[in-house]
Structure 1
């Protein structure tokens, strides 16, 4: 049953932007001086366990933050590769703070190179630019690239995951905990549809200059062509991103955004039975609420 009760996600207001900017300025230096950086205080555990392939839905008016429809929006879920939305958010913050640039080259560690598909197949000791990494994360959802970015920004994937969780709290994502940068299976890595909508909206509102990465339908790297995992692009009117995800525990997840007639929606579906079923549900919800 559809619910038309109007709620609002946290606003990305001026005060919030200032707070996030201050937090970004206080974040860790580059890995070469990482030894002097104290470990962040642990996040309190999130009570309960995520439901395997649990189904959740949330439809949000991106402009106002009004929640137009929700089903199990607060229930714990496994984010899978939706995790990479936070990796990108933190990279964009570092770029905005002048700590990172799109042309910077990042070293691929043996740990990053060992990650299973989806991946670019990067070799240990090779380099990848931040620009290419952003594209690979947004389009291909490359697990090896996620670890490269995490290690470059924080020195280790574990420390970066702690910072991802801290950033989630700053954004108002109260039921999200990250333990890795890729979204690969871990029972301790949990989120909710509402938290993913908050993150998707924050990406769209704070970093519109990178929106093209999320609507890119294919790219070429190392002589290979990679197609976007988001098959709604080019098939559902107005869709312009954001991110898909899948692991067996989660089912098929997506945070999708679309604009029609000056209005923008963010639709979250988690726990889809298949890619097709998930995408059909998103398309139906967009028709319902536009």
Structure 2
């Protein structure tokens, strides 16, 4: 089987940019200044849609995540709810262990019964350690067993520098994560659980006649910020995960180990403003959208649409979109039968020699073999290809 490589001048969404690139003046493009200096032990700024990393420092170092741990507590609870293992109106009996958990609290009382949806709000908005333990015990029997569940979900998400020992983020030996892993987790919550993600933008919650404000000051400071979680212990310092959406672009910022509440908010604002100011995101293709067509031999049809199994987003410095170059490699001859899971080529995007994307192309339909006469005719024609 041969590979044919060509410039993708026929790609419908890239046609205009590729033609326009001949008129572009690279020298006139605005420069991109270096990312703001961040006084944190580790940080990362990621585009949510493309996964492109815009800025980072020590992003893979294992650090104490403090209450940012509760993002995984929430992810595990959301996942079990979606499986139908629990329901939001299930009642949870508060154990003495949950009630006695120190640190930030929702102020649930031992022996009382509290709905899961209330505990989720207490965990997310009030950062309640007592709520986190109550949810963990209800979900897995014990907090230790729940931590094993957390680690399994972390493994599935590709969090390579993470290990959880509890559901709260209180200091514990061998309890750690990294800025990159936390960004992966935040993106998974936003993508997989939009019905719950909205809770992270709620500014206050009242339980047991006690009203507590969300500790994420970015919710008041920047209207584009809609989450996601703070954390603080003496060992971890002041930590903050934020997500903001402006237009079609969403950024996720993670800072670990800053010196104060103000410092983490100031650094987050600087990173977000820089990212939105100097970069742009584009959806080049939706999942399942035709990218091109290929000649199909010995099938029920002769033209086969090809596309991607996932949406293709690119993030690049502003003003560079028209400079993108696209190439495509297709297997040839392409012979029926074909199925949507059969990779039959690759689409590559580059910008000024740097790779932006390299994805496999797949048939957008299952095509069976054609009739005997068609197969015989195509067999003869293929001799001359």
Q: TM (normalized to structure 1)?
A: 0.81
Query: Shift of residue 128 of structure 1?
Result: 1.3
Select the residue among 223, 241, 244 that pairs with 1:237: 223
Q: Residue 101 of structure 2 aligns to a residue in which SS?
A: coil
1:159 is matched with which residue?
A: 145
Q: Distance in 2 between matches of 1:288 and 1:164?
A: 33
1:173 is matched with which residue?
A: 159
1:26 is matched with which residue?
A: none
Q: Residue 234 of structure 1 aligns to a residue in which SS?
A: helix
RMSD over aligned Cα atoms: 1.6
Q: Residue 237 of structure 1 aligns to a residue in which SS?
A: coil
If asked which structure has higher relative contact order (CA below 8 Å, sep 6+), I would say 1
Query: Shift of residue 219 of structure 1?
Result: 1.2
- Residues 76-129 of structure 1: per-residue CA shift (max 9 Å, x gap): 110100010011111111111111111111111011111112002222111111
Q: Distance in 2 between matches of 1:92 and 1:207?
A: 7
1:124 matched to 2:118: no
Kept in 1: contact 2:227–2:244 (CA 8 A): yes
- Normalized per residue, the structure richer in strand is 2
1:1-290 mapped onto 2 (5 Å cutoff): 2=34, 55-290=41-276
Query: Shift of residue 54 of structure 1?
Result: 6.7
Unaligned runs of 5+ in 2: 1-32, 277-385
Q: Distance in 2 between matches of 1:154 and 1:239?
A: 33
Aligned length: 242
Q: Residue 219 of structure 2 aligns to a residue in which SS?
A: coil
- Residues 8-32 of structure 1: per-residue CA shift (max 9 Å, x gap): xxxxxxxxxxxxxxxxxxxxxxxxx
Kept in 2: contact 1:120–1:145 (CA 8 A): yes
Unaligned runs of 5+ in 1: 4-52
- Normalized per residue, the structure richer in helix is 1
2:364 is matched with which residue?
A: none
Runs of 4+ in 1 over 4 A off after TM superposition: none
Note closer, same or farther for the CA distance 1:143–1:271 as it changes in structure 2 (3 Å cut). Answer: same
Q: Distance in 2 between matches of 1:181 and 1:233?
A: 24
Question: Larger radius of gyration, structure 1 or 2?
Answer: 2
Q: TM (normalized to structure 2)?
A: 0.61
Kept in 1: contact 2:106–2:123 (CA 8 A): no
Q: Residue 284 of structure 1 aligns to a residue in which SS?
A: helix
Q: Distance in 1 between matches of 2:46 and 2:197?
A: 18
Q: Residue 140 of structure 1 aligns to a residue in which SS?
A: coil
